[in-house]
Amino acid sequence: MITVIGSINMDLVVRTDHFPKQGETRLGNLFATIPGGKGANQAVAAARLGADVTMLGVVGNDAFGHELVQTLKNEGIHTETIQQAAEPTGIANILVSNKDNRIIVVPGANHAWDAQMIEAMEAIIPKSKVVVFQLEIPVDMVRRGLALCKEHGVQAILNPAPTDAFTEDLLDHGALLTPNESEAETVWGAEWKDAIREFPNQVVVTLGKDGAMYPGANDAVYVTGYPVEVVDTTGAGDTFNGALAYGLSQDWELSKAIEFANAAASLSVEALGAQTGMPALDAVIERMR
């Protein structure tokens, strides 16, 4: 079983031809409410591939919260461990223009973790094969979760995004770290490619259209990106993480899991919205040929 411990948000997506400048009003040409949140997205990515997925997170007792839990259920994800808080469900305000995006996240209920959530985490981690974390829930909870994974010998993946809450001690728990390029630079500085050599097979850096790279036992290994027609890159990183978790839950070598995740993520950028384009297993296998 894969457990995803993280955020559940409603994405409020606005598409426009030009981003407004400060103080400027622009007309948009599309508005959509699309289920998101890095945690939920990564759970959906893994479930689409056929994994047995449990989601641990908090939503509000409001329309977005109910809709989001239902959406996860519809994907076959176990949602009994999702709790309701008095705070409103988290939202992400996503502006999309010309294949670029700008995002503001308001965490709301995602930050309303209490003692009951800690108990739920303590109960579920020992039963999991792979546990996936991001940094859209309180970082103390991530820290506890990573320590529990280490204690129980459970494979953890930490997608250190957003990096605002990142602290160096999160590297100490043996989790597989999956930053994108700018997150790697925030964590290790401009010389991140040198710095990650200290962590062979423990870091994978996603490189957008250029694919991904990781420090192998000896040299850096580059996994080339697939040439695709990009519609919306929102959720590409989440698809990568969900697919990586799927691969590791199948006991694949890290190299194979990364190649698989790279193919899955390339499919996700071909559709608008984070979860919309997340592929099924067959589509990923087809792309890898």
Q: Is 135 in the site for ligand ATP (CB under 6 A)?
A: no
Q: Among the candidate windows 58-66, 110-118, 225-233, 248-256, which touches ligand ATP by CB under 6 A?
A: 225-233
CB 242 within 8 A of CB 49: yes
Least Å distance, CB 141 to ligand ATP, is 21
Q: Helix crossing, 254-268 with 281-288: angle to 10°?
A: 100
Q: Is 176 in the site for ligand ATP (CB under 6 A)?
A: no
How far is it, in rounded angstroms, from Cα 96 to Cα 172? 36
Q: Is 206 in the site for ligand ATP (CB under 6 A)?
A: yes
Q: Among the candidate windows 81-89, 137-145, 186-194, 203-211, which touches ligand ATP by CB under 6 A?
A: 203-211
Catalytic residues, by residue number, are 238
Q: Is 287 in the site for ligand ATP (CB under 6 A)?
A: no
Closest by CA position to 119, among listed 144, 154, 150:
144
Binders in 65-104 for ligand ATP, by CB under 6 A: none
Q: Is 13 in the site for ligand ATP (CB under 6 A)?
A: no
How far is it, in rounded angstroms, from Cα 193 to Cα 184? 9
- Hey, what's the torsion of the CAs at 95, 233, 111, 84, to 10 degrees? 90
For residue 21, the one-letter residue type is K
Least Å distance, CB 137 to ligand ATP, is 17
Q: Which residue is nearest to ligand ATP (CB)?
A: 237
How far is it, in rounded angstroms, from Cα 280 to Cα 213? 24
> Residue 83 or residue 101: which is nearer to ligand ATP going by CB?
101
Among residues 225, 242, 273, 277, which is the contact residue for ligand ATP, using CB under 6 A?
225
Among residues 49, 154, 265, 278, which is the contact residue for ligand ATP, using CB under 6 A?
265
Least Å distance, CB 268 to ligand ATP, is 7
DSSP string for 14-69? EEESSPPPTT----EEEEEEEEE-HHHHHHHHHHHTT--EEEEEEEESSHHHHHHH
Q: Is 37 in the site for ligand ATP (CB under 6 A)?
A: no
Closest by CA position to 220, among listed 230, 208, 211:
211
Q: Is 233 in the site for ligand ATP (CB under 6 A)?
A: yes
Strand-pair partners of 53 = 2
How far is it, in rounded angstroms, from Cα 186 to Cα 151? 28
Residue ranges in contact with ligand ATP by CB under 6 A: 180, 206-209, 211-212, 225-226, 228, 230, 233-238, 240, 262, 265-266, 269
